[in-house]
Amino acid sequence: MDFSSTALRVLRQVAESGSFTAAAVRLGYTQSAVSRQAAALERGAGAVLFERHFDGVRLTPAGLTLLRHARTILACLDEAEQDLTGSAGRAEPVRLGIFPSGGAMLLPLALTRLAETDPHLAVTSREGTTPSLIRSLRAGSLDLAVLTSRPPHRPSDGESPALHLERIEDTELCVAVPTTGVYAGRTSVHAGELVDAPWIATPSSGAEPLLGVWPGLPGRPRVVHTARDWLTKLRLVAAGFGVTTVPRGMSAALPQGVTLLRVDGAPPELRRVLAARLPGRPSPEITRVIQALTGA
């Protein structure tokens, strides 16, 4: 078998992005170039590596096997480049992925703590949905990911081997409302009052459900605004244009004019915050980042 480093990077990016088109954009290639590299990989492996579906591309068991070795090969090439350029030993990098509200809840405090206790660590972070962060972990482009799950907290994905998960915290879901108007001065709201509420939500996708609407409400929710950015959603709430769900852990990051209400008349909605990594013994750097996140 003869695989180029370019082809192996394409394999890793397709696994992370979930499509040839997205991989081409991330790598700066044309889609036809990515398709050619994928075909060359399959010829070299003598096996089908990619499953094409209407909603994207997934790796076959043979593709996942090659990906596992590709991560090791590409990591060795990166280390060789650092040795040759003299950049090795300057800092210990940790690539961290985190779900959107987790950035506001955990990231600043964790990074502040690490700057004091472990200044040699160079943590880089990027935001993503739980499915996209899991793909990045599997592809080897993240070392650690902070994810969320809802009961009964099933395994993060169906791939093997299973990811190693560590609980950071459990946080309660609340409803963010404007401090003025019908919710002024209140600390709770009954679930029945939310049936006809104007909701501000994150658009749903094939991998993520509609986020921002209280789970389990009867009927179809009245979504008046959709936005992925948390600041946009919360500013709309502050201005009185709707309500949205927020983890209680985000209370310290709320803008002026927004308050959180507990929901009565419905079972509590708890979300578990998890640190996920590939199985095996973690590096000391990854362990230190997990400890900082837990402490935050």
- Residues 260, 176, single domain; the answer is yes
CB atoms within 10 A of CB 139: 21
Confidence category of residue 236, pLDDT binned at 50, 70, 90: very high
- Residues 101, 9, single domain; the answer is no
Decide which of 101 and 265 is more confident. Answer: 265
Q: In degrees, to the nearest 5, what angle opens at C-alpha 93 toward C-alphas 17 and 141?
A: 15
Q: Does 115 have pLDDT greater than 80?
A: yes
Mean pLDDT of 231-246: 94
Of 51, 67, 85, the position where a domain reaches its end is 85
Mean pLDDT of 54-80: 84
Written as one letter, the residue type at 79 is E
Specify the pLDDT at position 210.
61
Please, which residues have CB within 8 angstroms of residue 117's CB and are 6 or more apart in sequence? Answer: 288, 292
- Residues 160, 288, single domain; the answer is yes
Mean pLDDT of 131-145: 89
What is the average pLDDT score of the chain?
Answer: 86
> Measured between alpha carbons, how far is 156 from 209 in angstroms, rounded to an integer?
15
If one counts the domains in the chain, the total is: 3
- Residues 163, 202, single domain; the answer is no
φ/ψ bin of 243: left (φ > 0), alpha (ψ from -120 to 50), beta (otherwise): beta
CATH number at residue 56: 1.10.10.10
Specify the pLDDT at position 155.
66
- Residues 203, 290, single domain; the answer is no
- Residues 144, 220, single domain; the answer is no
Mean pLDDT of 59-72: 86
- Residues 140, 287, single domain; the answer is yes
HSE on the CB side for 293, CA within 13 Å?
27
Give the pLDDT confidence of 202-231 residue by residue, as tens digits: 876 554 556 789 988 888 899 999 998 888
- Residues 163, 174, single domain; the answer is no
Decide which of 85 and 115 is more confident. Answer: 115
Specify the pLDDT at position 162.
86
Specify the pLDDT at position 229.
86
Q: Are 250 and 271 in contact (CB under 8 A)?
A: no
- In this structure, are strands 222-226 and 198-201 parallel, antiparallel, or unpaired? parallel
- Show the domain range for 159: 93-167+278-295
Total residues found in the chain within this entry: 296
Give the pLDDT confidence of 74-92 residue by residue, as tens digits: 878 877 776 776 655 556 7
Specify the pLDDT at position 205.
58
- Residues 232, 108, single domain; the answer is no
Give the pLDDT confidence of 152-178 residue by residue, as tens digits: 777 677 777 889 999 998 889 999 999
Give the pLDDT confidence of 11-39 residue by residue, as tens digits: 888 888 888 888 888 888 888 888 888 88
Confidence category of residue 291, pLDDT binned at 50, 70, 90: very high
Specify the pLDDT at position 208.
54
